[in-house]
Amino acid sequence: MKGNGDHDCGAASGAPGEALLELKSVHKRFGGLHAVNEVSFKVAPGSIKAVIGPNGAGKTTLFNLIAGNLPVSAGTIHFQGREIQGKKPHQIAHLGMSRTFQNIKLFHGMTALECVMVGRHVRSRSGFFAGMFSLPSTWKEERAIREASMELLEMMEIAEFADVEATSLAFGQQRAVEMARALAAEPRLLLLDEPAAGLNIYETAEVARLIGRIRDMGITVLLVEHDMSLVMDISDEIVVLSFGQKLAEDIPLNIQKNAEVIKIYLGADDEISA
């Protein structure tokens, strides 16, 4: 029961110009249902990419495949040049990928600050032994974790709630805590699962601004989203899914004009004149 063997965090990156994340013919079957069907796309480093599609299109399933929560039925997923399909979520997190959840999953009985401190897990190493004997390395590390987490809360503008129980915060603030927790790992790629779900237009605009800032920090963002205003404003590229299949992949402007996308995703054509 000594230390721990947490491997080093994904500092290594692929060759320059290479995609940060690459899906090749990714397939997921649930019985007879093809939830994700032969989906391929790339995410370039430093970009914001969005996956959109109607309900049941397989967006969240796709996210769960990338983050390792579900095994793929076929196909490969490369992250920083390494194959990651078949790896466990915690291993993928160590490689430099963080995520948020559609239905916010904060930790009960923890303050907002503590939740974010959990996010520092991959960037710290004190194990059972060091913790129990409270070695100097542990409390030095604890102080560093606390400071880094506090900075993130400040960046999210929720520092005043640091000592409030996270699950008792307002919805938008909980989202911010979750995002701070994901950022605490200093990921290369951030997966955001419907970051604007349940938020009003002001809060959505706030989230859009935040995502822009996250990209400016050099973190690549892949998001799944329903809110078209958010997606169209901030994304560099959009992938459209329908019934598990990739329908289109293009810049927002072209997606808005794509007749098939309009028909399948956006519904009646007279509503879409923007």
Identify any residues that bridge with 238 across adjacent strands, giving them in sequence order: 50, 250
Subset of 57-76 contacting another protein (CB under 8 A): 67, 69
Using CB under 8 A as the binding rule, whether residue 11 contacts another protein is answered as: no
In the region spanning residues 132 to 191, those forming contacts with another protein, defined by CB under 8 A, are 132-134, 138-139, 141-142, 145, 181-182, 185
The two three-digit tokens of residue 38, written as one number: 């032969």
Rule CB under 8 A: say whether 252 interacts with another protein: no
Residue from 82, 88, 140, 209 in contact with another protein (CB under 8 A): 88
Q: Which two tokens stand for residue 95?
A: 């490689």
Binding mask 23-62 for another protein (x = CB under 8 A): ----------------------------------------
Identity of residue 41: F
- Closest by Cα among 56, 55, 53, 49 to 23: 49
Specify which residues 235 forms β-bridges with: none
Smallest gap from residue 219 Cβ to another protein (A): 16
Stretch that binds another protein, among 25-33, 47-55, 74-82, 94-102 (CB under 8 A): 94-102
Rounded-to-integer distance, Cα 249 and Cα 127, Å: 44
Give the chain's end-to-end CA distance (angstroms, integer): 61
Q: How far apart are CA 257 and CA 74, in angstroms?
A: 32
Which residues on neighbouring strands pair with residue 39, listed in sequence order? Answer: 26
What residues make contact with another protein under the rule CB under 8 A?
1, 6, 67, 69, 88-90, 93-94, 98-99, 101, 105-110, 114-115, 117-119, 121-122, 124, 126-128, 130-134, 138-139, 141-142, 145, 181-182, 185
